[in-house]
Amino acid sequence: MPHARHLLAIEGMHPPQITELLDVAEAYALLNRSGNAPRDLLRGKTLINLFFEDSTRTRTSFELAGKRIGADVINMAVSASSVSKGETLLDTAATLNAMQCDLLVVRHGQSGAPALLAQKVDASVINAGDGTHEHPTQALLDALTIRRRKGRLEGLIVAICGDIAHSRVARSNILLLSTLGARVRLIGPPTLIPAEIEQLGVTVFHSMEQGLPGTDIVMMLRLQRERMVSGLVPSAREFFRRYGLDHARLALAKPDALVMHPGPMNRGVEIDSAVADDPERSLIREQVEMGVAVRMAVLDLLSRGHSRNV
């Protein structure tokens, strides 16, 4: 990402940019484990977390990432701010500009909101998830987690399973994994797989029994009921019966296949606890750890590429 000003999407990123980011994140992962992160790197820089939608992992890991390398971090609770009094996104942008923030991390329910803000603020904008569009840092942390365990991404077969239609995680992962040479399969009911998605170079399956054989990575997604019109899925129990991942289903994938989930998990709906908590097969904890390293790398690289006009 040399000299990039914002991180808005995986779409449009080239393999060397992604690889550079993963390499820097890998170094941060090691520094974090040894407690040697460069604590003054972002001294004097301000990072604002602006979350219009709920988040646990993403917001806290951006906060931790910023603090670990010395930025001043402010979390704006949107419901407590003037946005709930009717202030528009662009008024909010003007306020943030006046505060001279350097890095703005934005999550919003509308696809494209971070890109709109990026046109209006002086800060570097990082998309922390916009509607059903993209969640670039999630795809980067997933790629780093896979690369560390499997040693590569190229040639791997990755199955992304469940509610693809409402998932920005799926979209960013499809784009990133395909760009770096992995083969992506999508598995889910026809109602939860967008028409035309095959144009992105993926293969679609409507049953786990058909889609899982031969896979190296099985990535599970929750049903995003908050974005669904009603009637797209049967009951939770029926969904688990057809698309849930338990050990018996996992046995259909390669013997060394590993399981991922971006969270939040709905245990017993898309994933069985015995799989989610299996230290031999589940990468879910490591994904969270790599989330901090990836976000440190993103903040570091964006700060290098951008000096604010004062």
Q: How far is the CB of 124 from ligand ASP (least distance, A)?
A: 21
Q: How far is the CB of 163 from ligand ASP (least distance, A)?
A: 8
Nearer to ligand ASP, 76 or 169 (CB): 169
User: What would the x/- binding string for ligand ASP be over residues 104 to 143, using CB under 6 A?
Assistant: -------------------------x-----x--------
Q: How far is the CB of 30 from ligand ASP (least distance, A)?
A: 26
Task: Say whether residue 59 binds ligand ASP (CB under 6 A).
Answer: no
Query: Residue with structure tokens 């035309």?
Result: 196
The Cβ of residue 234 has, within 10 Å, a number of other Cβ atoms equal to: 12
Instruction: Write the DSSP symbol of residue 228.
Output: P
Q: Kind of pairing, strands 217-220 and 157-161?
A: parallel
Contact indicator for 99, 92 with CB cutoff of 8 Å:
no
What order do you get walking across the sheet with 46-51 strand by strand? 72-77, 46-51, 103-108, 124-130
Q: How far is the CB of 228 from ligand ASP (least distance, A)?
A: 12
Q: Among 21, 169, 292, 294, which residue sits at the site for ligand ASP (rule: CB under 6 A)?
A: 169
Q: Among 6, 108, 133, 222, which residue sits at the site for ligand ASP (rule: CB under 6 A)?
A: 222
Give burial (CB, 10 Å; 0-12/13-18/19+) of 77. exposed
Q: How far is the CB of 222 from ligand ASP (least distance, A)?
A: 5
CA distance 79 to 267: 29
Which residues here bind ligand ASP, judged by CB under 6 A? 129, 135, 168-169, 222, 224, 262-263
